[in-house]
Protein backbone atom coordinates (compact mmCIF):
# COMPACT_ATOMS: atom_id res chain seq x y z
CA UNK A 1 0.00 0.00 0.00
CA UNK A 2 1.46 3.33 -0.98
CA UNK A 3 0.77 6.25 1.17
CA UNK A 4 0.97 9.87 0.22
CA UNK A 5 3.43 11.37 2.68
CA UNK A 6 3.70 14.89 1.42
CA UNK A 7 2.41 16.87 -1.49
CA UNK A 8 2.55 20.36 -2.87
CA UNK A 9 2.17 21.94 -6.29
CA UNK A 10 5.37 20.54 -7.69
CA UNK A 11 5.94 17.23 -6.02
CA UNK A 12 4.10 14.30 -4.50
CA UNK A 13 6.05 12.10 -2.13
CA UNK A 14 4.84 8.56 -1.58
CA UNK A 15 6.01 5.92 0.79
CA UNK A 16 7.88 2.99 -0.74
CA UNK A 17 6.03 -0.24 -1.48
CA UNK A 18 7.73 -2.88 0.60
CA UNK A 19 5.24 -5.67 1.01
CA UNK A 20 6.30 -7.77 -1.96
CA UNK A 21 9.60 -9.46 -2.66
CA UNK A 22 11.38 -10.37 -5.85
CA UNK A 23 14.14 -12.94 -5.50
CA UNK A 24 17.11 -12.28 -7.68
CA UNK A 25 20.15 -14.48 -8.11
CA UNK A 26 23.01 -13.26 -6.00
CA UNK A 27 26.04 -12.24 -7.95
CA UNK A 28 29.10 -12.84 -5.79
CA UNK A 29 31.66 -11.61 -8.26
CA UNK A 30 32.00 -8.24 -6.64
CA UNK A 31 32.22 -5.16 -8.77
CA UNK A 32 35.44 -4.54 -10.57
CA UNK A 33 36.31 -2.29 -13.41
CA UNK A 34 38.25 -4.90 -15.33
CA UNK A 35 37.22 -7.78 -17.53
CA UNK A 36 33.76 -9.08 -16.49
CA UNK A 37 33.41 -12.71 -15.50
CA UNK A 38 32.12 -14.79 -18.40
CA UNK A 39 30.18 -16.89 -15.86
CA UNK A 40 27.80 -13.99 -15.29
CA UNK A 41 26.06 -14.77 -18.55
CA UNK A 42 25.07 -18.15 -17.14
CA UNK A 43 23.45 -17.20 -13.87
CA UNK A 44 20.41 -19.44 -13.50
CA UNK A 45 17.26 -18.73 -11.65
CA UNK A 46 16.60 -20.89 -8.61
CA UNK A 47 14.83 -24.23 -9.06
CA UNK A 48 11.26 -23.95 -7.94
CA UNK A 49 9.69 -27.40 -7.63
CA UNK A 50 6.23 -25.89 -7.47
CA UNK A 51 6.69 -24.67 -10.99
CA UNK A 52 8.00 -27.99 -12.28
CA UNK A 53 5.60 -30.33 -10.53
CA UNK A 54 2.44 -28.23 -10.59
CA UNK A 55 1.30 -27.09 -14.02
CA UNK A 56 -2.24 -26.13 -13.00
CA UNK A 57 -2.20 -24.73 -9.45
CA UNK A 58 -5.96 -24.06 -9.38
CA UNK A 59 -6.69 -27.70 -10.23
CA UNK A 60 -4.02 -29.33 -8.07
CA UNK A 61 -4.74 -31.15 -4.81
CA UNK A 62 -2.75 -33.46 -2.57
CA UNK A 63 -3.57 -36.90 -1.19
CA UNK A 64 -1.92 -39.29 1.28
CA UNK A 65 -1.57 -42.95 0.28
CA UNK A 66 -2.88 -45.71 2.51
CA UNK A 67 -2.24 -49.25 1.32
CA UNK A 68 0.03 -50.98 -1.17
CA UNK A 69 -2.00 -51.93 -4.26
CA UNK A 70 0.19 -49.72 -6.47
CA UNK A 71 3.50 -50.92 -5.02
CA UNK A 72 4.99 -51.87 -8.38
CA UNK A 73 4.20 -48.46 -9.80
CA UNK A 74 6.33 -46.96 -7.04
CA UNK A 75 3.44 -45.79 -4.89
CA UNK A 76 3.77 -46.92 -1.28
CA UNK A 77 1.91 -46.47 1.96
CA UNK A 78 2.44 -42.96 3.35
CA UNK A 79 3.48 -41.35 0.05
CA UNK A 80 2.21 -37.94 -0.96
CA UNK A 81 0.37 -37.77 -4.28
CA UNK A 82 0.08 -34.69 -6.46
CA UNK A 83 -3.31 -34.77 -8.16
CA UNK A 84 -4.26 -32.65 -11.17
CA UNK A 85 -8.00 -32.46 -11.82
CA UNK A 86 -7.60 -30.63 -15.12
CA UNK A 87 -6.17 -33.64 -16.97
CA UNK A 88 -8.33 -36.07 -18.92
CA UNK A 89 -8.46 -39.67 -17.70
CA UNK A 90 -6.98 -41.74 -20.51
CA UNK A 91 -5.91 -45.34 -20.81
CA UNK A 92 -2.88 -46.12 -18.65
CA UNK A 93 -3.05 -43.03 -16.42
CA UNK A 94 -3.12 -43.43 -12.66
CA UNK A 95 -6.37 -41.88 -11.53
CA UNK A 96 -7.91 -40.90 -8.23
CA UNK A 97 -11.32 -42.51 -8.27
CA UNK A 98 -14.17 -42.30 -5.86
CA UNK A 99 -15.81 -45.68 -5.57
CA UNK A 100 -18.43 -46.84 -3.10
CA UNK A 101 -17.58 -44.33 -0.42
CA UNK A 102 -13.82 -43.94 -0.60
CA UNK A 103 -11.02 -42.41 -2.62
CA UNK A 104 -8.70 -44.88 -4.29
CA UNK A 105 -5.87 -44.66 -6.81
CA UNK A 106 -5.57 -47.22 -9.62
CA UNK A 107 -4.31 -47.44 -13.17
CA UNK A 108 -7.15 -46.96 -15.65
CA UNK A 109 -7.65 -49.52 -18.35
CA UNK A 110 -10.36 -49.38 -21.01
CA UNK A 111 -10.99 -52.68 -22.79
CA UNK A 112 -13.89 -53.15 -25.21
CA UNK A 113 -16.10 -50.54 -23.57
CA UNK A 114 -15.29 -51.89 -20.14
CA UNK A 115 -13.60 -49.78 -17.51
CA UNK A 116 -11.12 -51.57 -15.27
CA UNK A 117 -9.16 -50.27 -12.29
CA UNK A 118 -5.84 -52.11 -12.35
CA UNK A 119 -3.65 -52.63 -9.29
CA UNK A 120 0.13 -52.81 -9.54
CA UNK A 121 0.60 -55.55 -6.98
CA UNK A 122 -0.01 -59.29 -7.51
CA UNK A 123 -1.91 -59.68 -4.27
CA UNK A 124 -4.70 -57.39 -5.53
CA UNK A 125 -7.34 -58.12 -8.17
CA UNK A 126 -8.45 -55.78 -10.95
CA UNK A 127 -11.82 -54.10 -10.33
CA UNK A 128 -14.39 -53.89 -13.11
CA UNK A 129 -16.61 -50.82 -12.87
CA UNK A 130 -20.28 -51.75 -13.14
CA UNK A 131 -23.27 -49.48 -13.62
CA UNK A 132 -24.38 -50.01 -10.02
CA UNK A 133 -21.08 -48.77 -8.59
CA UNK A 134 -21.14 -45.29 -7.14
CA UNK A 135 -18.16 -44.18 -9.19
CA UNK A 136 -16.39 -41.07 -10.43
CA UNK A 137 -12.93 -40.14 -11.61
CA UNK A 138 -11.78 -37.28 -9.38
CA UNK A 139 -8.33 -36.44 -10.72
CA UNK A 140 -5.13 -37.71 -12.28
CA UNK A 141 -1.95 -38.50 -10.34
CA UNK A 142 0.98 -36.60 -11.85
CA UNK A 143 3.73 -37.12 -9.27
CA UNK A 144 4.47 -39.06 -6.11
CA UNK A 145 6.63 -37.67 -3.31
CA UNK A 146 8.34 -40.04 -0.92
CA UNK A 147 10.23 -39.31 2.23
CA UNK A 148 13.13 -41.53 3.22
Partner 1 sequence: MFALVDCNNFYASCERVFRPDLKGKPIVVLSNNDGCVIARSNEAKEIGIPMGAPAFEYEQHFTKHNVQVFSANFALYGDMSQRVMNVLSDYSPEIEFYSIDEAFLKLTGFEYFNLQEYGNEIRYKVHKWTGIPISVGIAPTKALSKLANRIAKKYPDITKGVYIIDNEEKRIKALKWLKVEDIWGIGRQHAKKLKAIDVNTAYDFTKLDDSWVKKNLAIVGLRLKRDLQGIPTLDLEEIQSKKNIATTRSFETNYTKLEQLQERISTFAVSCAEKLRQQNSCCNSVMVFIHTNGHRNDLPQYSRNIVIQLPFPTNSNIELVKFGKMALEKIFKKGYHYKKAGVIVQDFTPEDIQQLMLFENRDERHISLMQAVDKLNKSYGQQKIRLGSQDLRRVWKMKQEKLSPRYTTKLSDIITIHC
Task: For 68-130, give the DSSP string.
Answer: -TTGGGT--TTPEEEEETTS---TT-EEEEEETTEEEEEEEEEETTEEEEE-SSTTS--EE--
CB nearer partner 1, residue 25 or residue 90? 90
Please say if 106 is a catalytic residue.
yes
Closest listed residue to residue 144, CA positions, set 74, 97, 96: 74
Write down the catalytic residue from 15, 66, 69, 86.
Answer: 69
Are 82 and 53 in contact by the 8 Å Cβ rule? The answer is yes
CB nearer partner 1, residue 22 or residue 136? 136
Pick the stretch among 22-30, 37-45, 60-68, 108-116 that binds partner 1 (CB under 8 A): 60-68
List residues with catalytic annotation.
Answer: 69, 106
Binding site for partner 1 (CB under 8 A): 1, 3-4, 19, 56-59, 61-70, 75, 77, 80-81, 85-86, 96, 98, 101-106, 134, 136, 138
Amino acid sequence: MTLKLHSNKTINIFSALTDTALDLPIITEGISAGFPSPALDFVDLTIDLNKHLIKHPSATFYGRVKGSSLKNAGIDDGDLLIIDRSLEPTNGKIAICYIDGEFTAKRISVKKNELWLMPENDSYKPIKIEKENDFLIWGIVTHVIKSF
